[in-house]
Chains A and B, each alone.
Chain A
Amino acid sequence: MTMADATRKDALRYLFEKVVDPLGFKFTPDEELADFLLEQEVKLEQDHGAPYCPCQARTGARDDDMKIVCPCIPFHREHFDAMKRCWCGLFVHKGVTDPDSLPQFPPDEA
C-alpha cells in the first residue's frame, strides 16, 4: 500500500464515520478487519471509480451498483439492522463489542 493509498484510507474512514454514526453504526472493533476492508475499497475506487463494498458483486447496472457503494447501510437498512452489522462487517451496531459473534445471513432471512 502506497502512502497515497494510506492517506485515502484515512480520508474514507473519516468521511464514513460521519455517515454511519447517525445511522446507529460504528466501525467494527476488529481493527485488522477494518483496515483490510478499507484497503480493498481504496483499490476498488482506483479501479472502478467508487469505494464499492468489497464483499458484494457489481452488476454493471449503475443504479444497482450505487446501492453497494460504501457505506451502503441506507440501501439495506432492514437487513443490516437484523444482523447488527453490514454485509462485509466493516460496520456494526454501536452496542456490539464482539463482532465475531454476529451471524451473517441473506436478505430474505432478515
Chain B
Amino acid sequence: MWHEVARLDDVVPGGTKYVRVGEEEICLCNYDGTVYAVSRRCGHQNAPLEQGALEGWIVTCPLHDAQFDVRTGKNLSWPIDHHFGEERLSEARRRFERLEKRLQWKTRVHDLTTFPARVNDAGGIEVEVG
C-alpha cells in the first residue's frame, strides 16, 4: 500500500528526512532529485540515519560512520572506531574503549531495508509499505 509521507520540497537534493508509516521508521534520501526510501535505523547499532550525511547515493551513519547504498540498502563499509588522540582518559574509560573496539569488529552490519518510493503529480512523496 502506498502512503504519502512528505512533500518533495521537504527533502532537497542531498538531503534526508525521517518519516514514519505505522511501525515502520523510514529515512527518505534525495539523490540528485530521485527519492529513495530505506529503513531509518543503521544496520550496525540502530542510530538514526537521517542525522548522518548523504553524499550522492551513499549515506554515512552519524554514530560510527558505517556507509550504505541508499539505492539498494547494501552495507558498503564497516564502522570506524572512536579515536581520542592525545586526550587524557581515565583507565576505566580506556578499558571500555578497548572492549568496545573488540566488539565493534565482531559486530555484524546488516543491510538496510529498501522501500519503493515515488513522487506523485502533486509533488507528494509516496512510499510503499506493507
Closest Cβ–Cβ distance, residue A49 to chain B (whole Å): 7
- Which among A4, A14, A49, A50 is the interface contact of B58 at CB below 8 angstroms? A14
The 8 Å CB contact of B69, one of A11, A18, A45, A62, is A11
Interface residues on B, range: 10 to 19
| B81 with A49: CB separation less than 8 A | yes
* A contact residues, total (Cβ < 8 Å): 13
The reply to whether A11 and B76 contact each other, CB–CB distance below 8 Å, is yes
* Structural contact, A62 and B83, CB atoms closer than 8 A: yes
Q: Are A49 and B67 closer than 8 Å at their CB atoms?
A: no
Residue positions of A touching B, CB distance < 8 A? 4, 7-8, 11, 14-15, 18, 45-46, 49-50, 62-63
What are the 7 tightest A-B residue pairs by CB atom distance, in nearest-first order? A11-B76, A8-B76, A14-B56, A11-B58, A7-B74, A7-B76, A8-B77
Binding site for A on B (CB under 8 A): 55-58, 67, 69, 72, 74-78, 80-81, 83, 85
- A7-B69, A8-B77, A50-B80 known, 18 other contacts, Cβ within 8 Å: A4-B74, A4-B75, A7-B72, A7-B74, A11-B67, A11-B76, A11-B77, A14-B55, A14-B57, A15-B55, A15-B56, A18-B55, A45-B77, A45-B78, A46-B78, A49-B80, A62-B83, A62-B85
